[in-house]
Structure 1
Amino acid sequence: MKIVYTKHALKKFKDLAELKILISRSIVNSIIKEPISIDNFSDFPNKIATGMFDKTHVLRIVYKEEDGKIVIVTFYPGKKERYI
């Protein structure tokens, strides 16, 4: 499926970079394709994919499937022990 980003998600790359947290589209795309887990309930109808970002952090990606596309709504880093 094609992966597209909302304006908010695109801005999130810049916002996190200002905090010295560098996340690329390729990282987001790889987690969407092979997540450690997917939460289908917390933000229904959106889904939250979780994948490793570094040794102590995960990246949580909020997305929805719409018209044959995966739409990235937002994403945020979190502590590994909280989500895994």
Structure 2
Amino acid sequence: MTAEKRIELSQHALLKIEVLETHGITISPEIIQDTIRAPDKVESRGGEKYIAQKRLNETLVLRVVYREYADRILVITHYPGRRSRYETDSI
């Protein structure tokens, strides 16, 4: 089960936290982990790759792209998106 697996952030995902911060968007590793463990929505992208989505605020969602392995979850990247683009129904 996802809640029991270790979640690791790739170098790219760690760098993305810093890049988003320079744009005034604060995404902590804990928010990323929470998005994976308790998402509003999950999309499968073939194989073991997924996109977990969780509402950040009234206008934005956080989308986390990750790959699931037998013993861990590797976060590939993450990005904020407009709710109007990614939410097709009320969550």
* Matching residue of 1:57: 60
Q: What is residue 78 of structure 2 aligned with on the other side? A: 75
Aligned residues: 82
Tell me the alpha carbon deviations over residues 21-78 of structure 1, each in whole angstroms, 9 at most, x when there is no partner. 111111111110010111103xx33110000111110000000012410100000000
Q: Distance in 2 between matches of 1:9 and 1:31?
A: 14
The list of structure 1 runs, each at least 4 consecutive aligned residues, that deviate by more than 6 angstroms after superposition, is none
- SS of 2:21 mapped into structure 1: helix
Larger Rg: 2
Root-mean-square deviation (CA, aligned residues, Å) is 0.9
TM-score by length of 1: 0.92
- Tell me the SS of whatever aligns to 1:77: strand
TM-score (norm 2): 0.85
Give the gaps of 5 or more residues in structure 2: none
5+ long unaligned stretches in structure 1: none
Q: Distance in 1 between matches of 2:78 and 2:13?
A: 7
What's the counterpart of residue 47 of structure 1?
50
Q: Identity over aligned residues, as a percent?
A: 34
Question: Is 1:18 equivalent to 2:29 in the alignment?
Answer: no
